[in-house]
Structures are given as C-alpha cells and as structure tokens.
Chain A
Amino acid sequence: MNYVTQRLLTFPLILLGVSVLVFFSIRLIPGDAITAMLGTEAGLLTPAQRASLANYFGIDQPVWTQYARWLGGLFHGDLGISVTYGKPVLGVILERFPLTLELALLSVIIALAVGIPAGVYAATHNERASDLGVRLFAMLGQSTPSFVFGLLIIYVMSVYFGVIPALGTFTPIWVDPLANLSQLIFPAITLGFAFAASVTRISRSAMLDVLSDDYVRTARSKGVKARRVIWHHALPNALIPVVTLSGVEFGYLLGGAVIVEQIYALPGIGRLVLDAITQRDYALVEGAVLFIAFNFLIVNLLVDLCYVALDPRIRLGGR
C-alpha cells in the first residue's frame, strides 16, 4: 500500500528530528554528569581531575563531534553506554520495557473493561439518573490528578487494610504471575481510572450516535430484539472511536507513566528517563526518548491502519 510505505519512509525522518531535539536540549540544561555525581564537592576538583572525569563521561568532545559519533552508533544499533548503569543503553531500556508494556496493557484493559459497559449502560439509559451518575463518575476519573489518586490508594490501603502493594520490586509475569499482577494492579487502576472515564464518555456518545442511525431504527422496526440490536449491530460500530483512542492512549502509556512510577516505585521506562535526566546520563536519555518515540510512531501507524480498515468511509488525511 502506498500509504503505508509513505508513512514508513517518514519514520526515520521523524526519529532524526527527535534525536536532534533530545540531544541538544539535554545539553542545554545547566549542570552535567560531573555535578550530578559530585554535587557541591565538584568545586574541589583540580583541572586535571575534572578533565579526567569529563573524558570518562564522554563530555569533553565538542558537541557536534559527540552528536556525529552517537548518530554513527545509531546506524549500527548501538545506542551508547549508560554512565549510570555502566551497561549498554539498549540493554538497560529493554530490561525496563516489559514492566511498562505490561502496565500499559493492563491499564487499557481495565479502562476498557470498566468504560465500555459503563458507556453502553449510560447510553441505553440516556438522560435518566443512572446516565448522569455514570457520567459524573467518569468526570471524577478524568479530573483527579494521578498522583493524588495513587497516594490516596497507598495511604488508605496501609492505614485501613494494613497491606500495600509490594513497592519497589518487579517480578516478571513469567516468573511469578500472581506476584507480578499484585504489584501492577494498583498502578494499573490508578492509570486506568482516568482513561476509563474517557472511554465511558466516548462509548456513550458513539453508542448514542449509532442508536439513532437509520439502519438501527430499521432493525428495531423489523422486530429485532433491543438487546440483539445493541450488542450485535450498534456496539461494533460504536467501538471504532474507542479502538482508535485506546491505541493512542496505549502508545502514550508506552512512554512510561512518570508520576505513577515514582509513587509506586516501579522500575519502568518513565522513571528511567526521569532519573537519567537528573543524573545527566546523556546517552540513556537520548536512547530512551528515541525508543519511546519509535514505539509511539509504530502504535500510531497501527491505529491509523485499523481506523482505515474498520471504517472505509473515512477519507485519508481529511479528518
């Protein structure tokens, strides 16, 4: 398909743009890896000591040389070495990725599992009290800052239930599924809560649109049962915007949920980048941002393709 090849060709261009943006913007932040490591003690360094550290951190070269070298490495799939971890950047990122991937998936699944039924329910009971109740609940979800919600969960759990999710550890799902899910369930609920609200509203609104469409009315007038109409005819069509929105949200969550990861102490990609910026681990920041951007672009492309496939009525580019 010409459209796909066109989109794929622009991938490297966009990634190149992201690489330039991240490479130069982190170097614009005052402070470097030396001050990150030594803090105020960095003032005690002699020029020779400072030169030795600058060489070790790879920051003694002129900026463009550093960029050229890094770019060259990129073409070999080498994202450089992280000075914080002492290991190749790509390896560090891939170690953290399963958690972020799983958390994103879980959050979207929870949001859909709660949001779609809620939206359908609200739509079929349109303008009654239950409809307003669901919408209010959805509003609450969208308006609560994630860190407030997350902290409240931890606090309430620890004070009133005496237990909290295991903080600061991550057991991969293939090692111990139960432990893994117990670690991620509350972060996923925190993230999913806000998105569930969007899903509710979108499904409700889409459902309402579809229910008033002519062919649905025709089906009803022909005697098809209401429930059948809803689940077999209306819902699949109403789901199209939900699918695309979920895709976008999933792509966004793949970039790591910085705040939720901080609160629940999850070793995910969001926290990885935040810590890397704080410690001025340039290679790690660059590599991680590129990785996140790449995932986002791929997911977006898939979402756009789904969108086109599901609804041929949509014209490409003329949204």
Chain B
Amino acid sequence: MHWTHPKTLLAGLAVVTLLGTASFALPSQAATLRMAWSQDATGLDPHKQTAFSSLRLLEMIYEPLVWLDKDLNVAPAIAKNWEFSPDGLTLTFKLDPAAKFSTGAQVTSDDVKASFNRILDEATAAAARSNFLSIKSIDTPDPETVVFNLSQPDAPILVAMASVNAAIVPAAEITAGSIGTKAIGSGPFKLDEWDPNSKDVLTANPSWAGGKPGVDGVTISVLPDETAILASLRAGQTDFALLNDPLVATLVPNEPSLQLNRVPGLAYNALQLNPSRKPMDNLMVRQAISCAVNRQEVIDTAQVGEGQVTGPLTMPAYASDPSTLFCYKQDVDKAKDLMKQAGMADGFSATVIAATGEPPYASAEAQVLQSQLAAIGIRLDIKLMELNVYVDAWLKGDFDMAVALNGGRPDPYPMYNRYFTKDGNLLKVSNFTDDELDSDLQQGRAETDVAKRKVIFQKFEAHLAEMSPWIWLSTSYSYTAQQKTVKGFEPSATGDMHSIGKVTVGS
C-alpha cells in the first residue's frame, strides 16, 4: 500500500541488483572457450559462403588440403605433402592418413575429388570456382593420393586451395545433399547447434588429426554491438572475441586482464575511381587525386592510426615499398598542376559511395578524403548506404567513386586478375585494363620461380599505382581480443581461425 515508503523502495532496488548480479556468479565451464563476435555466419556450406563471418565459423569445422601459416607460406592440412610436375601441368597431393571426419570416417582421395567436382559444378554456385578453372581432371590412384591435371601452369592454384572455400567435405554427404544443413568436417570442432545471428555451439572433434583440441567446446555469442563485447570481456563473461572496429580494439590494452592481438591483414582500403566516367577517364585527373590524398593522415584520423600505408600489393612476399610508388607522398601543388593540365583547374563534383559500418571507419574515411580533395577543387558528395545496397551499386559499377575495403590474397594473381585483366570477371567494377597490366598478370601466373615472380609483380604494382584507376590507401589490422588466461591462438594475416584447435583456457 505504501508504495513510496522508503523501505519498499530500497527492497525493490535490492531485488533488482540481486537479479542483475545473478548471471555474473556462473564460473566458466571446465575447458569451454566462450567466444563472441558481432557478425554471425550466414550459412554452413563451406563452398558457397564467402562472408568473412561465415569463413571464421567454418574454419573451425572444416579443413582444406592446405593452410597458410603465419608467414603466409603454404602448410600441410589434410595433405601432408604436394608436388608440381616439372611442366607445371600436374599437382599431386599425398593425404595425411590420420585425417578423419567427425563421424570417424577417414578422409580419402574420393572425398577430395568429389569436393572439387562440387566446387566446379555451376549448380553449386561456388564463388571460388573461378580460382580453379585450370583443373582439367582429377585422378585418385589410391585412397591417399590425389592428382590434379591442369590445362595450363597455374602456380597460384596451390594458394587458392588454402581456404575453407576449398574445404574437403565427405563424398557421402555430397550425394546425400546435406552439405549446407549438416556440418561434417575434419576440423578440430564439430557443430552441435547453430542459432543464426544468435549463438553457435561447438564441441571437440574426437577424430581430429591434430590430436585432442585444447578445449572441450566453444560457445559463440553473437553480440552486434562491439562496445558490449568489450564490456563482456572486461566482466570476464567472454574469453575470446573477434573485433572489427579499431576504436574498440584500441581500448583492449587498457584492461589489465585482456590482451589484444593485431595482425596486419591482406585486405586493403582504397578509394575506387570509375575511369569510365568523366572526368576520371583522364589519366591526369586520376593522378591528381592520387597526389592530393595524404594517406597517412587518413589512417591517423579515420582509423586512429591503426593501419599501414600500402600499394596495390599487400602481401609481404611481393609488396614494394610504398614510398617508391607514384605520388605516395602528398604533393598538393603537383596535384593542382595536373588538374590544370587536364583542363580541370576549377575542379568538379562527384559522388562517393560508402557502406555503413563496412568497415566501421568507412564514414570517417570518406569524410577525410572529402576534405583532402576539396583542396584541389573536387567537391565530393558522400552517400552512405547499407552494405547490401552498396554491393548492388558496386557490382554494377554504378558509382563515381567508392570507398572500399577489398579482400586480399597471398598471391597477386587471384587478387587482381578479376579487376585488371582483359577478361576479368569484375571489369564492370574496375572499368580499367591495359595491355601491360594484363600481360604482367598472365606472366606472373605462369612463372613458378619466386624471385622472377616478384620482379614481374612489382612491375605490375608500379604501373598500376601510376595509372591510378584506384587510390590505394592502407591495410588495416585484424583483431582478436582474449583474456590473458587464454593461450595457444596464432593470429594470421588472413584472419583465419584454424589454429583454434590449439587454444587452451587457463584458470
């Protein structure tokens, strides 16, 4: 009756506080890794799914023939060794006899053949198919040997196989048509439960070739807001998290119990120009833009310093020193001069599209670029759009300029053949190619000697930077945050999660 009586109010407050702390009292289960990320997988089919968030989940369940180690060299996974024939037309793999699916069945060459045939089958709609077009046929002389017969020498194909998009799935499941519904792989964990956009529950795969995984299971919570993920880590509710936003990641080292892992990624931030639209069809205008931009300032401002200036190539094995590339040091005078030569002394107006939150600093990046280009008379109108809407416009090449975060590869050929060769799949997006770029890429593809490849690709990179169809800005980091009691995780430049099997949760 006396609702406003102080005692009653206090009692109410006490109840609320009690309820609020009830959830905290749960200790972490023996050897379960509690993970969190902000975006969930969009599907379970390793051949179909390309979104990074999907790959991160599937990398814990499936394995391909090979992985990349932390130096981006090809390392064994299901295959224990491999060899190109001298003419480069045959690639032979010897499989690890200990490799088993979570059902206990051994991974055989039939599974490998069936998996790759599935990828090549257009009905599967595997985006990775374009990497494997040189496969003419696959032979399986014995259960532990697979021979790929190629129609032409294709050095990058090995690197292309080091992805969960080329995962080996059971031939029996392919026939049963259950690949997207059941997740039966040979990786360290198997999927028990998948509540899309909410929760994923994994348990250790008892048949894993790598031995017993460091933890008995993994529970992944999908927390859309990354500041909530940080709060969860801070409160000890989460052991391990993937983070995208540099603003949140830079706060992790401030917490005494947490550790931040940052690895420079292969993906690159770029301002894509559309050379099919005036006045960007004029080389001097594009070069002026390249000269007007202060790349380091974009990193320092929009990405709070979390990134490194890069040229078109981002992999350490092939990348040139950016300072050797065309106009990588800001030179506003040269930019103005180029604009004048192009007859554009008064500048022009253009629209730049960017995807909200993809990457998290896209909006800030666009605004910094807008401010920098204003100095040479280019008036940019920023259009932020939902990712899917952005993708739709991007695929159609329906933009003047676009702020993009494009995926990188460890090998330059698959990274850029789609954009800059004469028959590239995404020419509609790049609207740019020339003879030199095309021949350099094709040469690099066929060449197997690493030193010679480096020369070819660096020539390609220098020419690409000079032609400036895009303005390459920076690479950013891939972040993982963990409690200091979590050990064994090896962050990789591709961001992949396959070392999750070795992770342990201390006490």
Contact yes or no, B426 A117, CB < 8 A: no
A182-221 vs B: 1/0 string, CB under 8 Å?
1101100100000000000000000000000000000000
Q: Does A105 contact B (CB under 8 A)?
A: no
Contact yes or no, B389 A29, CB < 8 A: yes
Contact yes or no, A167 B395, CB < 8 A: no
Identify the stretch in A35-43, A65-73, A244-252, A303-311 within 8 Å (CB) of chain B at 4 or more residues: A35-43
Task: Please give the number of chain B residues whose Cβ is less than 8 angstroms from any Cβ of chain A in the complex.
Answer: 62
Known: A158-B234, A168-B199. A39 touches B387 (CB 8 A): yes
The residues of A that contact B56 with a CB separation of less than 8 Å are none
Q: Does B418 contact A (CB under 8 A)?
A: yes
Q: Does A75 contact B (CB under 8 A)?
A: no
Q: Does A4 contact B (CB under 8 A)?
A: no
Identify the stretch in B94-102, B124-132, B288-296, B479-487 within 8 Å (CB) of chain A at 4 or more residues: B124-132
Q: Does B29 contact A (CB under 8 A)?
A: no
Q: Does B250 contact A (CB under 8 A)?
A: no
In the assembled complex, the Cα of A179 lies from the Cα of B393 at a distance in Å of: 45
Nearest CB on B from A227, distance (A):
9
Q: Does B224 contact A (CB under 8 A)?
A: yes
Known: A158-B231, A166-B23, A267-B198. A38 touches B127 (CB 8 A): yes
Which residues in chain B, 104-149, are within 8 Å of chain A measured between CB atoms? 122-127, 129-130
The winner among B4, B129, B237 for most chain A CB atoms within 10 A is B237
Contact yes or no, A163 B197, CB < 8 A: no
Known: A164-B231, A164-B237, A168-B223. A40 touches B391 (CB 8 A): yes
Chain A contact residues: over half helix, strand or loop, or mixed? helix
Contact yes or no, A52 B122, CB < 8 A: yes
Q: Does A262 contact B (CB under 8 A)?
A: yes
Q: Does B30 contact A (CB under 8 A)?
A: no
Contact yes or no, B199 A44, CB < 8 A: no
Q: Does B22 contact A (CB under 8 A)?
A: yes
Nearest CB on A from B479, distance (A):
19
The residues of B that contact A262 with a CB separation of less than 8 Å are 224-225
The winner among A53, A116, A159, A182 for most chain B CB atoms within 10 A is A182
Contact yes or no, B392 A169, CB < 8 A: no
Contact yes or no, A35 B234, CB < 8 A: no
Contact yes or no, A40 B394, CB < 8 A: yes
Contact yes or no, B235 A265, CB < 8 A: no
The winner among A29, A42, A48, A49 for most chain B CB atoms within 10 A is A49
Contact yes or no, A167 B223, CB < 8 A: yes
The winner among B12, B42, B50 for most chain A CB atoms within 10 A is B42
The residues of A that contact B36 with a CB separation of less than 8 Å are 167-168
Which residue in chain A gives the minimum CB-CB distance to B224?
A262
Contact yes or no, B3 A158, CB < 8 A: no
The winner among A44, A48, A181, A185 for most chain B CB atoms within 10 A is A44
Task: Please give the number of chain A residues whose Cβ is less than 8 angstroms from any Cβ of chain B in the complex.
Answer: 64
In the assembled complex, the Cα of A165 lies from the Cα of B407 at a distance in Å of: 36
In the assembled complex, the Cα of A165 lies from the Cα of B16 at a distance in Å of: 12
The residues of A that contact B1 with a CB separation of less than 8 Å are 231
Identify the stretch in A13-21, A271-279, A286-294 within 8 Å (CB) of chain B at 4 or more residues: A271-279
Contact yes or no, B388 A182, CB < 8 A: no
Q: Does B228 contact A (CB under 8 A)?
A: yes
Contact of B19 among A50, A155, A182, A280 (CB under 8 A): A182
In the assembled complex, the Cα of A116 lies from the Cα of B3 at a distance in Å of: 10
Contact yes or no, A37 B19, CB < 8 A: no
Contact yes or no, A84 B198, CB < 8 A: no
Q: Does B305 contact A (CB under 8 A)?
A: no
The residues of B that contact A265 with a CB separation of less than 8 Å are 221-225, 228
The residues of B that contact A148 with a CB separation of less than 8 Å are none
In the assembled complex, the Cα of A267 lies from the Cα of B224 at a distance in Å of: 11
In the assembled complex, the Cα of A231 lies from the Cα of B2 at a distance in Å of: 11
Contact of A49 among B49, B122, B181 (CB under 8 A): B122
In the assembled complex, the Cα of A101 lies from the Cα of B125 at a distance in Å of: 40
Nearest CB on A from B359, distance (A):
13
Which residues in chain B, 258-297, are within 8 Å of chain A measured between CB atoms? none
Q: Does B386 contact A (CB under 8 A)?
A: yes
Which residue in chain A gives the minimum CB-CB distance to B220?
A168
Contact yes or no, B197 A275, CB < 8 A: yes
Nearest CB on A from B185, distance (A):
18
Q: Does B86 contact A (CB under 8 A)?
A: no
Contact yes or no, A37 B51, CB < 8 A: yes
The residues of A that contact B379 with a CB separation of less than 8 Å are none
The residues of B that contact A231 with a CB separation of less than 8 Å are 1
Which residues in chain B, 210-266, are within 8 Å of chain A measured between CB atoms? 221-225, 227-228, 231-232, 234-235, 237
Contact of A45 among B12, B21, B42, B127 (CB under 8 A): B127
The winner among B16, B42, B125 for most chain A CB atoms within 10 A is B125
Contact yes or no, A157 B20, CB < 8 A: yes
Q: Does B88 contact A (CB under 8 A)?
A: no
The residues of B that contact A158 with a CB separation of less than 8 Å are 231-232, 234-235
In the assembled complex, the Cα of A29 lies from the Cα of B391 at a distance in Å of: 12
In the assembled complex, the Cα of A178 lies from the Cα of B20 at a distance in Å of: 10
Nearest CB on A from B102, distance (A):
20
Q: Does A226 contact B (CB under 8 A)?
A: no
Which residue in chain B gives the minimum CB-CB distance to A50?
B125
Known: A40-B395, A267-B197. A167 touches B228 (CB 8 A): yes
Which residue in chain A gives the minimum CB-CB distance to B45?
A37
Q: Does A121 contact B (CB under 8 A)?
A: yes
Which residue in chain A gives the minimum CB-CB distance to B49?
A37
Which residue in chain B gives the minimum CB-CB distance to A83?
B43
Known: A41-B50, A271-B197. A167 touches B232 (CB 8 A): yes
Q: Does B377 contact A (CB under 8 A)?
A: no
B4-42 vs A: 1/0 string, CB under 8 Å?
100000001000100111111010000000001000001
The residues of A that contact B349 with a CB separation of less than 8 Å are none
Contact yes or no, B231 A154, CB < 8 A: yes
Contact yes or no, A41 B232, CB < 8 A: no
Q: Does B195 contact A (CB under 8 A)?
A: yes
Which residues in chain A, 127-171, are within 8 Å of chain B measured between CB atoms? 151, 154-155, 157-159, 161-169
Contact of B23 among A35, A154, A165 (CB under 8 A): A165
Contact yes or no, A37 B426, CB < 8 A: no
Which residue in chain B gives the minimum CB-CB distance to A39?
B391
In the assembled complex, the Cα of A183 lies from the Cα of B428 at a distance in Å of: 49
In the assembled complex, the Cα of A118 lies from the Cα of B234 at a distance in Å of: 36
In the assembled complex, the Cα of A50 lies from the Cα of B126 at a distance in Å of: 10
In the assembled complex, the Cα of A181 lies from the Cα of B429 at a distance in Å of: 51
Contact yes or no, B24 A163, CB < 8 A: yes
In the assembled complex, the Cα of A176 lies from the Cα of B389 at a distance in Å of: 42
Q: Does A46 contact B (CB under 8 A)?
A: yes
The residues of B that contact A189 with a CB separation of less than 8 Å are 16
The residues of B that contact A118 with a CB separation of less than 8 Å are 4
Q: Does B360 contact A (CB under 8 A)?
A: no
Known: A44-B418, A163-B21, A185-B20. A30 touches B388 (CB 8 A): yes
Nearest CB on A from B446, distance (A):
21
**Sampled A-B contacts (17; CB under 8 Å):** A31-B391, A39-B50, A40-B407, A41-B50, A43-B428, A48-B122, A49-B125, A52-B124, A52-B125, A154-B231, A163-B23, A164-B24, A164-B237, A168-B199, A169-B199, A178-B19, A278-B388
4 tightest Cβ-Cβ pairs between the two chains A and B: A168-B221, A31-B388, A158-B231, A166-B23
